[in-house]
Amino acid sequence: MMRKLKAKRVVIKVGTSTLVYPDGSINLRAIDQLAFVISAMRHRGRDVVLVSSGAIGVGLNYMGLKQRPKAIPEQQAIAAIGQSELISIYKERFAIYEQKIGQVLLTRDIFVYPKSHRNVLNTFDALLAQNVVPIVNENDTTAVDELDHETKFGDNDQLSAVVATNIGADLLIMLSDIDGFYDANPNEDAKAQLLAHIEKVDQQTYDLAGGSGSRFGTGGMVTKLKAAERMIKADGQMILANGEDPSIIFQIIAGEPVGTLFG
């Protein structure tokens, strides 16, 4: 059964597992597919914003490091190195499809203070009006948590939902390393069933969720459910699907029943 989706303005969130192989090398094929799909969507008149993880994963690869450093300043340094490398790769790949991009690095407090909140929304509107795809990430080099000044989103699942609800996106497509939301952990239970549609996120839904994933990423299923809950409250929809081949976005936009639809 085909889905009915509103998808004039779409936010696509890609996790580190889509962009970086388990051995730490960069998945250029996936990035190229992502650039192709988003460019095609943009050329058909859709507003598309890409929320991309991967700065630390790409930074580790660039610096030839196997393990994520434990110290915050070192993590932030790796993020700074990785972010510039990542945006360079995106720029190169999008250029093949004649699509311009713009980088937007955010901290949580930008959405808290009215003036900066208004300014960042104006920036998104201006970029989209000029047929530019904003590529968003948390500003990992400066984001910290302090008692009176919280600047971290915590993870890019939350960041993507905050961006999507603030810019009035109809749909949040979240690409991860799992096919969707299951009624049990599919890695541990062979009888786990993929749930095609979840209308509301409640305590029972959270009870089904597990822990976080790869050594490169920070998000787990709970953060994805929080993002879905935020989208539903804003009268939007979210689809969680496997990002191994980003061309799955074409199937999602066409309304094919892939992944899990929230809302």
In angstroms, the CA 99 to CA 36 distance is 9
Fold of 9-262: Carbamate kinase (3.40.1160)
Annotated binding-site members: 13, 53, 140, 156, 176-177, 218-224
Which of 40-49, 181-190, 240-249 shows the lowest mean pLDDT across its residues?
A: 181-190
Q: Is the pLDDT of residue 226 over 60?
A: yes
pLDDT tier, 187 (very low <50, low <70, confident <90, very high otherwise)? confident
Output the pLDDT for position 205. Answer: 82
Of residues 1 and 60, more confidence is placed in 60
Give Rg (Cα) of the chain.
17
Output the pLDDT for position 76. Answer: 87
Read off the pLDDT of residues 212-224 as tens digits, 9 standing for 90 and up. Answer: 443 333 447 888 9
Mean model confidence pLDDT for the chain = 87
Read off the pLDDT of residues 137-156 as tens digits, 9 standing for 90 and up. Answer: 988 666 555 434 445 566 78
Most confident of 42-51, 57-66, 154-163, 218-227: 42-51
Domains of the chain, residue spans: 9-262
pLDDT (average), residues 200-212: 73
Residues of the chain above pLDDT 90, percent: 57
Output the pLDDT for position 149. Answer: 40
pLDDT (average), residues 103-121: 88
Output the pLDDT for position 109. Answer: 81
| C-alpha of 81 from chain center | 20
pLDDT (average), residues 2-8: 88
Sorted by sequence, the CB contacts under 8 Å of residue 157 that are 6+ apart come out as 13, 174, 219, 223, 224, 226, 227
Annotated binding-site members for substrate: 53, 140, 156
**Distance set, CA 167 to CA 22, 91, 212, 226, 249 (Å):** 33, 23, 28, 18, 20
